[in-house]
Amino acid sequence: MDAFKNWVARSGMGSILILALLIMVVFPLTMDIFRLNLVGKYLTYAFVAVGLVMLWGYGGILSLGQGVFFGLGGYMMAMFLKLEASDPEATKIQSTPGIPDFMDWNQLTELPIWWQPFHSFSFTVLAVVAVPMILAFIVSFAMFKRRVGGVYFAIITQAVALILTVLIIGQQGYTGGVNGITDLKTLMGWDIRDDSSKYVLYFVNAGLLIGVILLCRWIQMSKLGTLLLAMRDKEDRVRFSGYDVSMFKVFAFVLAAGISAIGGAMFTLQVGFMSPSFVGIVPSIEMVIFAAVGGRMSLVGAVYGALLVNFGKTYFSESAPDLWLFLMAALFIGVVLAFPNGLAGLYESHVKPWLSRRKSSPPAPSMEAPASSAHTPKTAPESSLPKGVQGQSA
Amino acid sequence: MSNTDFVLAIEDLTVSFDGFKAIDNLTLYVDRGELRVIIGPNGAGKTTLLDLICGKTKASGGSIKFKNQEMTKLAEHKIVRAGVGRKFQTPSIYENLSVFKNLEVSFPSGRSVLGALGFRCTDEVKERVQSVASEIGLADALDMEAGLLSHGQKQWLEIGMLLMQEPELLMLDEPIAGMSVRERELTADLLQRICKGRSVIVIEHDMDFVKRIAHKVTVMHQGKILAEGSMEKVQADPKVIDVYLGH
């Protein structure tokens, strides 16, 4: 029993369980479908933040281009849905029926060859994860083998984000341009727009997120997790202990890319469109903010960070439309200055000692292990959740 | 270059940084089971020599053969895997990890990405960690965060991390820098123990310490070898006296 308790405390299972309860039970019970769908959207960003915990927190590699992988995952899911929405019957008023509407507007007369495989759902699911991981592998292998790191790597990821945005916007006939891919309706005949399917998608998304967190936790507890931490501290020592440091960095980058892409695909399914505004530099930096606010060493913290920042964003953009960007910036700077380890760090340094003090004081009743992390932040966003938020930018 | 019986054979090694020859046509052989100390004034190229052997710096010319295998073209981690361990001048340990983890990470298995994912801390690993920890006098500190160790203990820990890999050639860059007298003695004993069954190269300035441990001493000056031999012979060499006292 003690061994089990130890394992729970060491593995952080308690905090993951609390998070699972919160997003799978508490939120669905207390929110209507509109708000739940909104939370679902925030949780898709949490995938990227979780990936950043592995990449940035553990691996020490800052990427300012995670939007690329989120976007790629989202776009590929959108391509599949768009093809399904563009059957010849529904598009018979077009000059070329059977191709997506934006292609028709751009005088394309047939479906480009690289769109063809996205008729298949199984191919799409595979590609959603595989394509971003392959791209991440190529970029990071080229960089890390040449020992490019730190700020230089961050700048290169920014460049990739910019290139992809420009490419998507410029190739309007193939990508839908600046509007993105819109008007998505069904997934293999199943309408994704009605309330019941939104519930299903929310739970699929939440389940995937918990699954991804468990996977990352397992990696963190393996020797690979230890090595990532070791590399962050003393890269040369790891290299001269016989490890090919660059391949471990490539692994972290590819892992984060794959996770982000799953989030992107779930975003498309839940929100019903995908556009270049989720690919570029600004959204990529925002995703780093989620991880920083939540605590870049904490997987569950990253999820709370994504939720809190996005609730804040919704709230600020409604209550102070002209100032909200500045308020967001102030929140970020404030968090980084005051609690460099984010909400999870705040929990570790303040709440946990307080809990154990209470526990050890004589009259206090014995509480369950304080392994549950980041209990605190969740109340704040919930109470500040604004009603009727719509069309806020992200 | 012919094959030799030496564990390490360096021949005509040269490296130049922007025309400055930090190592200049250097030839050096190290025997199996030998403890070699390299001394020399600052800027003589001692650390650069270790950098070249372990692959941190790439040679401009010449050859480095470890057990008759050419090392100059190999990647750093491959040189380590071939059996060369290197301790850095400033203690280079993972401060945020426990002493146990520091040693465990240095265990030579699960070195690929997938290998590291599947790595399990078996009894064999635990035993090795235990035995190395008692060798370096840190058996009681296994659960301690490495950053909290004293300076001398950090130096020992790094030596221990190298011992985990069981290298055939161990290179130590100023292992007793910043140590107390007592710690120096313990380190000298440690070095004498660990050079059994492997070759060790030590860079050191402290002449008493050198006298105590060295089998053979190499004196470097301006990227070249000035003298080589026993401590007494080297100390009596007029060229060496000139370099150390003349300028």
pLDDT on residue A389: 33
Question: What's the farthest any 2 CA atoms get from each other in chain A?
Answer: 80
Chain A CB within 8 Å of residue B54 CB: yes
Cβ of B108 within 8 Å of Cβ of A242? The answer is: yes
Q: Which residues of B touch A224 (CB under 8 A)?
A: 113, 116-117, 119
Count Cβ atoms within 10 A of the Cβ of residue A21 and give its class: 0-12 exposed, 13-18 middle, 19 or more buried. exposed
Q: Describe the strand order of the beta sheet including B20-30 as a list of residue ranges.
A: B20-30, B8-17, B61-66, B69-70
What averages of pLDDT result for each successive group of 10 residues across chain A (394 residues)? 72 89 94 92 96 95 95 96 90 88 90 93 96 96 92 94 95 92 89 90 96 96 93 92 94 97 96 92 90 90 93 84 82 81 83 79 45 39 34 32
**Mutation to test the B interface, candidates A145, A223, A238, A248, most B Cβ within 10 Å:** A223
Joined together, the tokens standing for residue A307 give: 């939720």
What was the pLDDT predicted at A206?
96
A219 neighbourhood in chain B, CB within 8 Å: 117
Q: What is residue A98's predicted lDDT score, i.e. its pLDDT? A: 87
Task: Quote the pLDDT of residue A197.
Answer: 92
**pLDDT at position B133:** 93
Q: Is the pLDDT of residue B164 over 90?
A: yes
What interface predicted TM-score (ipTM) does this complex get?
0.90
Per the listing, tokens 């849905």 go with A81
C-beta atoms of B93 and A223 within 8 A: no
Least CB-CB distance to A226: which of B86, B97, B158? B97
Contacts of A58 in chain B (CB under 8 A): none
Asked whether residue B232 carries a pLDDT value surpassing 70, the answer given is yes
Query: Which residues 312-331 on chain A approach chain B with CB closer than 8 angstroms?
Result: none
For CA atoms A162, A164, A170, A175, give the dihedral sign.
negative
The alpha carbon of residue A51 and the mean position of all alpha carbons in its chain are separated, in whole angstroms, by: 7
B171-199 pLDDT per residue, tens: 999 998 888 999 999 999 999 888 888 99
What local confidence, expressed as pLDDT, does residue B173 receive?
92
Mean confidence (pLDDT) of chain B: 90
Domain range B1-83+171-180+199-247, CATH architecture: 3-Layer(aba) Sandwich (3.40)
CATH number of the domain located at residue range(s) B84-166 in this protein: 3.40.50.300
Residue A366: what pLDDT? 41
Cross-chain residue pair A219–B113, CB shorter than 8 Å: no
Mutate one of A141, A215, A240 to test the B interface: name it (highest B CB count within 10 A): A240
Instruction: Compute the distance between CA of residue B42 and CA of residue B50 in angstroms, rounded to an integer.
Output: 15
Are A237 and B92 inside 8 Å of each other by CB?
yes
Q: What is the model's pLDDT at position B242?
A: 85
> Across the A/B interface, how many CB contacts are shorter than 8 Å?
79
Residue B247 pLDDT greater than 70, yes or no: no
Given this model, what pLDDT does residue A1 score?
Answer: 63
Rounded CA Rg of chain A: 22
| Separation CA B220–CA B43 (nearest Å) | 9
Residue/partner pairs of B68-71 with CB below 8 Å, 24 or more apart: B68/B3, B68/B4, B68/B9
Residue spans of the domains in chain B: they are: 1-83+171-180+199-247, 84-166
Judged by DSSP in three states, B221 sits in strand
Which residues of chain A make contact with B85, given a CB cutoff of 8 A?
240
User: What's this model's pTM, rounded to 2 decimal places?
Assistant: 0.88
Mean pLDDT of B16-23: 88
Give percent of chain B above pLDDT 90.
62
pLDDT digits (tens, 9 = 90+) for A291-309: 998 888 999 999 999 999 8
* Closest chain A CA to residue B100: A226
By three-state DSSP, how is residue A339 classified?
coil
User: What is the average pLDDT across B103-125?
Assistant: 90
Question: Which of B53, B58, B76 to mutate to probe the A interface, most A CBs <10 Å?
Answer: B76
The reported pLDDT for the residue numbered B178 is 85
Q: Do A242 and B81 touch (CB under 8 A)?
A: yes
Q: Note whether B111 contacts A: Cβ–Cβ < 8 A.
A: yes
